[in-house]
């Protein structure tokens, strides 16, 4: 794949991201806001990953899939924010061709992994609620490993194929009307026939999204049937574990649907600022939204986070007292 990208970079060595506009001195304000958002995303998702990894009581399928979700959000954010921060401060909004294709790989594989992860999590909740007595025999650690491997490997292989089809295209321009690189924007610049690339992109996108949504729809239909016919305790358990998942699914689907519509249809009648915000929505709001939602709604994670933070603060206080004691000792 590197040879393909290098060949393309001899034809078009860089791309211009044309959606940026001059904000003067306010670009430093925008930089600080975006940097703060990125720091919060990294800290919040990393905290939850650490909490799940270090506490053996959380080594259950639901929390393992959640850990995969948080890792993906770190991955997707890192594919967007560093380059976004550089571009905000830059006066010339260009990106090299290899870096542009690398960002395309990260952004699109992040979206596919997110949908597949949400589908796997709905399947896990389906087994836990509909087959509680058989759950441990059906959701084994080997099955968990296979599901997580498929969730990550399939999108990466799909993106390798997509990049191998799109990167050799002869391009008639290098201006992308977005604040980050995406496949469809690059393919639209091609001078040659792109029917094969477009067809593969549509099939890969819709098979991932609609395949995931069909599985989620089926599992939730079965879950609701069990809830309506079950006890009050069963309904409460289902609501407590499924509400964050459904909220996360709706939040991500809103951003993803707008991004697909914007890529496929003319959105010039939408104000530029709103178009930029909505194009970044599925890359930023999901990593911001999920840690807060799952951290507050799932009591086990909430308790473990509070315990870890309190222990860390106590250690910091003890180190400060220890340093103050020895400092005063040596001064005297």
Portion of the chain with pLDDT greater than 70, in percent: 83
CA distance 76 to 109: 8
Count the Cβ atoms, other than its own, within 10 Å of residue 125.
Answer: 22
Mind listing the pLDDT tens digit for each residue in 38-48? 999 999 899 88
Q: How many residues does the chain have?
A: 332
Q: What is the pLDDT of residue 177?
A: 85
Q: Which domains does the chain possess?
A: 2-317 (1.20.1070.10)
* Surface-to-core class of residue 146, CB atoms within 10 Å of its CB (0-12 exposed, 13-18 middle, 19+ buried): exposed
Rounded to an integer, the average pLDDT of 310-324 is 59
Is it the case that residue 181 has pLDDT exceeding 80? Answer: yes
The first and second tokens of residue 160, run together, are: 């390798």
* Surface-to-core class of residue 67, CB atoms within 10 Å of its CB (0-12 exposed, 13-18 middle, 19+ buried): buried
The first and second tokens of residue 268, run together, are: 């010039």
Radius of gyration of the chain (CA): 23
Q: Minimum mean pLDDT among 19-28, 140-149, 157-166: which range?
A: 19-28
Mean pLDDT of the chain: 82
CA distance 20 to 308: 41
Is it the case that residue 3 has pLDDT exceeding 80? Answer: no
**Chain Cα centroid distance, residue 73:** 4
DSSP 3-state of 213: helix
Q: What is the pLDDT of residue 32?
A: 93
Residue 71: pLDDT band (50, 70, 90) is very high
């Amino acid at each position: 794949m590197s040879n393909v990208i290098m060949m393309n970079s001899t034809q078009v060595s860089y791309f211009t991201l044309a959606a940026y506009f001059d904000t003067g001195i306010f670009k430093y304000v925008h930089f600080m806001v975006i940097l703060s958002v990125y720091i919060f995303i990294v800290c919040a998702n990393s905290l939850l990953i650490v909490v799940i990894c270090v506490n053996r009581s959380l080594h259950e399928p639901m929390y393992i899939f959640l850990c995969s979700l948080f890792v993906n959000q770190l991955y997707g954010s890192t594919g967007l924010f560093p380059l976004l921060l550089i571009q905000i401060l830059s006066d010339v909004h260009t990106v090299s061709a290899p870096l542009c294709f690398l960002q395309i790989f990260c952004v699109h594989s992040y979206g596919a992994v997110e949908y597949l992860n949400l589908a796997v999590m709905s399947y896990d909740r389906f087994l836990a609620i509909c087959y509680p007595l058989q759950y441990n025999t059906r959701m084994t650690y080997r099955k968990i490993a296979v599901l997580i491997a498929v969730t990550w490997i399939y999108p990466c292989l799909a993106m390798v194929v997509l990049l191998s089809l799109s990167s050799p295209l002869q391009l008639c321009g290098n201006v992308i009307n977005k604040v980050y690189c995406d496949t469809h924007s690059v393919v639209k610049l091609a001078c040659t026939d792109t029917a094969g690339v477009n067809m593969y992109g549509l099939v890969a996108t819709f098979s991932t999204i609609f395949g995931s949504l069909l599985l989620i729809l089926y599992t939730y239909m079965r879950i609701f049937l069990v809830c309506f016919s079950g006890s009050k305790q069963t309904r409460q358990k289902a609501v407590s574990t499924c509400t964050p998942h459904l909220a996360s699914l709706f939040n991500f689907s809103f951003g993803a649907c707008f991004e697909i519509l914007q890529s496929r249809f003319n959105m010039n009648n939408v104000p530029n600022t709103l178009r930029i915000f909505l194009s970044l929505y599925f890359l930023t709001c999901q990593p911001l939204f999920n840690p807060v939602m799952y951290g507050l709604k799932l009591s086990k994670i909430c308790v473990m986070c509070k315990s870890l933070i309190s222990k860390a603060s106590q250690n910091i206080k003890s180190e400060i007292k220890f340093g103050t004691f020895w400092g005063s000792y040596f001064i005297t």
